[in-house]
Amino acid sequence: MLSKWLLGTAVAVSTLVPASVAAPGPKKADLNTINLLKDSLPPYDPSQDEDGFLKLTYDAVANLVEQKKNLGKGKGKGKGKGCDLTKVKVRRNWKTLSNEDKKKYTSAINCLHSKPSRYDPAVVPGALNRYDDFVAVHIIQTRTIHATANFLHWHRYFIWLFEEALKEECGYNGPFPYWHWPDTASQPYPSIVFNDDEFGLGGNGENIPHNPNGTPMGGGLIIIPVEGSGGGCVTTGPFANFTVNLGPIAPTLDLVPPAPETLAANPRCLRRAISQWTASTWTTAPHITDLLVNPAYATIGPFQNRLQGDFPNLYPGVHAAGHFTIGGDPGGDLFAAPGDPAFWVHHAQVDRVWWLWQLLEPSGARFNQVAGTITMLNNPPSRNGTLEDVIEMGAITDVTYQMKDLVSTVDGPFCYIYL
């Protein structure tokens, strides 16, 4: 039963399930998968649901199971090996990971950072390691993967490929984590995610005065107030002295000038300017809940536009707000943002919000919606995107998919859910 699984994987069991369903958990090797065809959720206990997301998750999983039962299938569809619904991987909140898994996760990122790049140096001379390959493809495709029809689909595949690389190339078999922004909204640093010990994603940058007029967000339409902290190199945690090789292309930290050439090597330290103002103003639970339940965002166009940011109306959206909670270099750079290892838990949360939104409509109608063009903010003007559009990932992988293969986390190449 899933109740056993939840009890075995939670660090703070009392926040997940009522005591009445306590039972021995499965062996550790089984903690990161779930049998969607046989397991069931424990009774929902509202007293254990601090911000409402446990209930939303229960509803999403129930709808997913019902949809699959109606289809009468136990395998996923689309190109690839498909998804065995009796062995679905589970992505988990960073705060519920064991300290052992947190260390293994960050060690795997450092491992990827030590392996050779697969890019031709004549094409991307600045990709000096395997981690840089992910940064490079994001830089190369930025103008066709943000404020576009494929933003959510492209990043879903991108994050999954990173998860696979950590497993296949660096041996990480723990759960892939997401950063539930409300957990750190009131205090992003120090917090369970950003701190100075070995069980977080590293601390803030050293305190160096920067951006005296505030930090521009959304092309300068929103200004983050001066907060008097960060700006310098990250010197604590697992990414102390982490080297960033590519970018910045569009820096928002005035201490770092743009790279002389877009794809040239520009080695420098990882800098952060963690913003408490941004986190507490824009990454709270009500902003996510509004996206998920407000009828104004019931179709993909308004949903993805609100999520990414309505900057002319001074609304950054949770996507940009998460990036600028991290800030710094390259965290604040639209192009090179994956150069900060915090990028991955942030975008796993973006994917989780989309996953919830898709599944909270019981009929499944939200899986085949697409809106927008194939260029950022339709500049230059371009055609509308379609679910037949192909997504490719450069030197990361030669396997391509159409957008329609990437709409479900239990179809196409994927086989995961969020709990």
**Among 24-28, 46-50, 191-195, the range of highest mean pLDDT:** 191-195
Whether residues 142 and 55 share a domain: the answer is: no
Choosing from 77, 97, 117, the residue where a domain stops is 97
Average pLDDT over residues 42-59: 91
Q: Which of 23-37, 71-85, 247-261 shows the lowest per-residue confidence on average (mean pLDDT)?
A: 71-85
Which among 97, 114, 133 is the end of a domain?
97
What pLDDT is stored for residue 20 in this prediction?
A: 28
Directed axis angle between helix 53-71 and helix 285-293, to 10°? 30
Q: Is the pLDDT of residue 8 over 70?
A: no
236 plus 289 within the same structural domain = yes
Identify the pLDDT of residue 252: 97
Q: What is the mean pLDDT of the chain?
A: 90
> Looking at the predicted structure, is the pLDDT value of residue 12 above 60?
no
Domain interval for residue 220: 101-418
> For residue 75, what pLDDT is reported?
41
Q: How many CB atoms lie within 10 A of CB 105?
A: 23
User: What pLDDT was estimated at residue 9?
Assistant: 32
The residues near 122 (Cβ < 8 Å, ≥ 6 apart) are none
Residue 264 and residue 153 in one domain: yes
d(CA 84, CA 396): 25
Whole-number pLDDT of residue 72? 56
276 in the same domain as 367 = yes
At 221, list the tokens. Answer: 């339409």
Tell me which of 50, 79, 97 is where a domain ends. 97
Q: Are residues 78 and 113 in the same domain?
A: no
Decide if pLDDT at 135 tops 70: yes
Angle of CA points 157, 407, 306, to nearest 5°:
90
Separation CA 358–CA 418 (nearest Å): 13
Q: What is the mean pLDDT of residues 32-41?
A: 84
Select from 137, 30, 138, 164 the least CA-distant residue to 86. Answer: 30
Same domain flag for 38 and 122: no
54 and 115 belong to one structural domain: no
Are residues 384 and 349 both part of a single domain?
yes
- Amino acid letter, residue 130: R
The two three-digit tokens of residue 142, written as one number: 């930025």
Alpha carbon separation from 109 to 115, 217, 334, 344 (Å, rounded)? 10, 28, 21, 10
pLDDT in tens, 292-329: 999 999 999 999 999 999 999 999 999 999 999 999 99
pLDDT digits (tens, 9 = 90+) for 236-274: 999 998 999 999 999 999 999 999 999 999 999 999 999
CA distances from 206 to 190, 202, 271 (A): 13, 12, 8
Q: What is the CATH number of the domain that holds 137?
A: 1.10.1280.10
- Residue 30 pLDDT level (bands cut at 50, 70, 90): low
Q: Is residue 34 domain-shared with residue 53, that is, in the same domain?
A: yes
pLDDT at 413 over 60: yes
Q: Is the peptide bond before 248 cis (omega within 30 degrees of 0)?
A: yes
Share of the chain above pLDDT 90, in %: 84
Residues 31 and 158 in one domain: no
**How much is the pLDDT for 40?**
72
Look up residue 406 and give its two tokens. 């990437």
Q: Is the confidence at residue 222, as pLDDT, over 90? A: yes
- The answer, yes or no, to whether residue 55 has pLDDT greater than 60, is yes
Task: Name the nearest CA neighbour of 399 among 113, 81, 20.
Answer: 81
Q: How many domains does the chain divide into?
A: 2
How far is 372 from 242, CA to CA, in rounded Å?
Answer: 36
Give the pLDDT of residue 42.
Answer: 73
Domain match, 167 and 263 both: yes
Reported as a single tens digit per residue, the pLDDT across 169-210 is 999 999 999 999 999 999 999 999 999 999 999 999 999 999
284: pLDDT strictly greater than 70: yes
Closest CA to 164 of 200, 194, 130, 191: 130
- pLDDT of 125 > 80? The answer is yes
CA distance readout (Å), 65 to 46, 52, 81, 120, 213: 22, 21, 20, 44, 51
Q: Do residue 113 and residue 49 come from a single domain?
A: no
Tens-digit pLDDT profile for residues 323-338? 999 999 999 999 999 9
CA 75 to the chain's CA centroid: 25
Tell me: the pLDDT tens digits for 335-379?
999 999 999 999 999 999 999 999 999 999 999 999 999 999 999
Q: pLDDT value at position 28?
A: 42
In angstroms, the CA 118 to CA 129 distance is 8
